[in-house]
Structure 1
Amino acid sequence: MNAVVKAAREQTLCPVCGDRFKEPKTLSCVHSFCKKCIADHIVKTTKNQSDPSAFNCPVCRKETPKPDNGPTLTWADHLQTNDALTSILEAFESGTNLRTCPHHSDKEIEFYCEDHSLSLCSWCATIAHKKCEGVVPIEEAAERRRIDSGRLANVLMEQSSHTENILNDRRSQLESLDRTEDDIKARLTNLRKKTMEALDALENKVINELMLKKNKETEVLRLEVETCEDILKDTRECLESFQESVQNEQPIDFVTSYLKQFEMFQNRQIALLNFSKNLKSVKVIFITDRSVDQILKQIKSLGTLSVEKTPSRYALPYAKSYTESRQSVLQTPRSISLLHRGSTSYRPMSRASIVKDSQSIPSYTSRPISFRHRAISTYSKASSVEPFRNKQESQNTSPTPRSGRFDGNKTTRDLTQSRPSADIMAKNGKLIQAKLRSTFDASTPDQNECSIEGATVLASGHVVLADSYHSSLKLFDQKYSYIGCIKFSTAPGDVTAFQDDEVIVCLPDTKQLKHEKLKNNKLIPGESLAVGDRCTSASYNNGILATCSGSTVHVFKREEGRWIRILLQKLDVDNLMYIAVDKEGERIVVTKNGYPNRPVLCLNKNGQKIWSFTHEEIRLPRGIAFFGDQILVVSWDQQRILQLNKEGKLVGAVVKDGIQWPWKLCISPLNDKLFVTQCYYRLSLKEKNTIKVFSLK
């Protein structure tokens, strides 16, 4: 059977490109080729012919008459499609491919590697995956997944119901947009009507005034015309009479007539002279009112259009994250714990790689803001990469553990697990004393799982937390009792205190920083600052606001009630995490992932590097803050909070116990309390939601 399948598979390969046929076309010689391959061949072989009438088969060289009178570029469209070959291709895609090894076409799938989430033949299982611990018969792998099929079905039904609700909501939004469009058009029509009515009234007023002035001047001009006509008529009559007297009258009569005509001439001349002195050229001038011109210049548009987006009632954290129960439904425990070593990636809430306890390798480009589960398809392109290359890429992209080269038969150190470490002795300065005083719960009855990515404390003692899981900013009073929250349409990042009663929160998806003011125990939305970058962390002190994206540091200065950008510093990295500004607003520190790269960098507000710090105790840094001239930084993988002095030297561990997977830290305005959030998918729900409060001295 395998030989038959192999022979059939060979018949599905194009002789030109060597790959499986795509839209197979048949020539008169019965040879078949991909549509694109034969089209390229036709164009290439006939390009030097002025009027080609045929082309040669790439295999047997037999001529095939042109199938159409159009250009050679379209001949392939008119060639006969090989329907039989198309049916064979469809059969392979729907059936045969699912049962044969993608690397050994003559071998059937018999095993499944839980370590890499790959289906294997006997050769792959005994050669490429011989060191894997999770190779089981395909039937056993299927049985494991059938056990959880009921729970998966429930989750799918829940997903279907939720999707239907969202679909109905989106359709109603479409209808709402249509209604809004009609309403705006009606308002514009009404505005146009009112404007035209006002213009018509003003126009009629000017026209009426014009008619009055015209009539008045017309009467004067008509009198002048009549006077001129009378003078002209009298002059012409005198001229005719005088000409007759010159020729016919007797001398004495002519002299008398001459004197009479001369006297009449002088009288007319005096009248004409007096008339001409008062002649005026008349025209009506219209000057547009200056205010009208100014108004027309000032009017740039009839109004402004903006899109207002408020959180939908279905804006749940469903698309951002799965709870641990859903994770267990979609993956078997073993496939989750070993998935990172395969070709399919999976990111937990803290973005550390999920790996086996004794053989885990951390991920170095992580924030918890956008956790998404990625469905695993054994036969997808991502999982069809050669096993040897997968293993090599995994070694190349991960840091080498200190215990030596990766070996499937040896136990390697897990950097995402808290490992034994010698106590760091206080040096390079006096060690800050921190003692756990209290804890409080960041969850609410309707938000039972949180991912606190930002935290800050106002001068009043109110605590503000940024929950990326629920896209909300939560407010707690001085006794850490929940007051309320404000929701966003997108997940927030970090949050920092601004002045005494105001905070600034990062909204990476909108590339903005948003002011929220505390008033009457409520957070009131304020101004927005467009950064133009997906900034995830921010810090404010002494008039200086610093914020960072994955690779860029932005610094703003407050002047006359508005923000002025004074620095845009692009760093040669893509994994910046958190940022902090000292109390003078002169120094900026920023954390970044990836030991042995320098995980802490100190700059001045002009972007000049002051110092950088690295140490094996801080491979995966997270939150950072100034305590006076000292610096506190979270070592997430070591589950500690370390202290650096102002020169960037390690002083010691301020907090070694009482925290699990610390993420963000902030210090109260009086420098007497330290607040620490925790984040990791392995934490219990209670610990995830717990904020630890330490006293400092």
Structure 2
Amino acid sequence: MAENNARNGEVTGRIKEILCQPCFNKNKQRTADKFCPTCNEFQCLDCSKVHYTHAFLKSHKLVNANEAKTKQGSFDMKGLDQCDQHQDVLKFFCEDENQLCCSSCAILNHRKCHSIVEILKVAGKSTNTKSTLKVKMEELRQKAYKIVDSIVSSKEKLDEDAKGIPVKIRQMRDEVMKMFDELEVSVAKDVQSFRKETLDKLSIKQSQNEKYLADITAYLETIDDVYQNGSLAQQFIVEQKMKNDVDVLHTNVDAECHDLKTVSVSFDFDETLKLPPLSVTYYIPGQLTLKFCLSEVASTIVPVNKAMILTPIKSIDLKQKEDDVGEPLYTGIEFLPDGRLVAVDNKNKTLLVYNEKLEKVGSYQLSYHPQSVVAVSEDEVAITSAEVYKLEILHVNKSNDITLDRTIKLTTKYDSICQKDIKHFVGGTIDHSTPVRIISSTGEEKDFNVNFPNKSYPVGTSACTYIRSSDKVVLTDRYEHTVYIYDVKTNTRVVVKDDQIKEPRGVAVGPFDTILVCSDSTNSIVQISQTGEILLSYKIDMKFPRTICVSHDKSFLAITNSCIGKRKLQKFKISY
């Protein structure tokens, strides 16, 4: 017995201390209290607690470490010691191909190999493999625990947020009801004051006219009596006596008639308080936001800033047609949700529609020189102009027929435009003190709470876009060779200047919400992260790229240029 103990590294008369394996892998030494036969691992009390907190571990049966130590018997390999091909016991190891073999494998598959040895002879030679494998698996298990904990926490947070939304709505309802209660008291007080004052005036007026009525009635009785019973002389006397009095009464009563008014009191809400049949979501102040936030664990695994890969798939030359005024100049392009592409030709006052193969399938003649275009819905687009104070909404049906839907009157001229949300646009202004503004679907214009540079931009010298997920505004300054990224929430900005960006023109939101900019003087597309890092500079086969757009699913990119005589429209496939 003593010989066996010495062989196993034990000292006779002493109890061997069993260490917690997870702690040992972290270079900590703690005594093991439990043993999990399923995990085949000794654990201290703290490490063993995961068996009670995670559902998939609750079926494991823990035993005391000392009891597990004394157990003897064969170990269940759970099929790991069997050949996947022949279902025989693995007995050999091919060092040439680094593969485990059963007898059949050694004879049939490895007969040409030079070094096939028995597993018993090589087992235990590599001491690092076991520890390395354990460390890797332990790291993976810790990450898996973190992922599960993160998911559990996310589910709890989601439940908490979901429960909180009705509470917020009820709170808002209570505040609104309180506001209406206060309004009722205030208006009732004003109504009573007005009523009392008006009733006093009307009572005085009523008394005066009742006196007139009594005088008139008395005069009529006297006249009737004299005309029936009096002599001619008496009748003449009464007529002369009453003549002046009747004239005075006539003047007073006639004035009262001309000043006769009906007094009323009412209370009406102005048009800003919308009423049915409009949807409640149209006029209730509030917005439901659904989003996923990367946890700390996920953020260390998923790349945030990833350079895209562009593959050219189609290019067409923009040539002047017989009915064109001049060479086409596409100052705005945009993908519709179904993959069609719309473009505005500034030179020829035209809206054009292209299919997925860049074949022209529709057009519409405009009455002004268009500047930019944005998709409003599945079949609607909005167009800006540098010469008129309006935003036109056009309907583009599935058959590529185009009709004017409505016109939104504005007080500012806009160059570039994109959608902020379902009811608002973000527009880059022309010759205005604020370079970027918000435009509502009803024509209301307002400014962001952002300290933009005190600079106005002529047409073609700046463009903007908006990143919904992070509430950021991107602004290009062509002749300063600069791209500005403004964080609306914090009113801070990132200034991007780089030799790869020369005369930045059009800008769009690309994959992973990165920023894509047309670099005019370098003939390239530059991809920028939201923190200002240059991720990609891609040379394209056109001079002076001007306008860029990305499809709704971030799978395709389209770009046009402004080079006289060499104008093109190109389409690229985006991959990662």
Q: TM-score, normalised by structure 1?
A: 0.38
RCO (CA 8 Å, sep 6+): is it higher in 1 or 2?
Answer: 1
The TM-score normalised by the length of structure 2 is 0.45
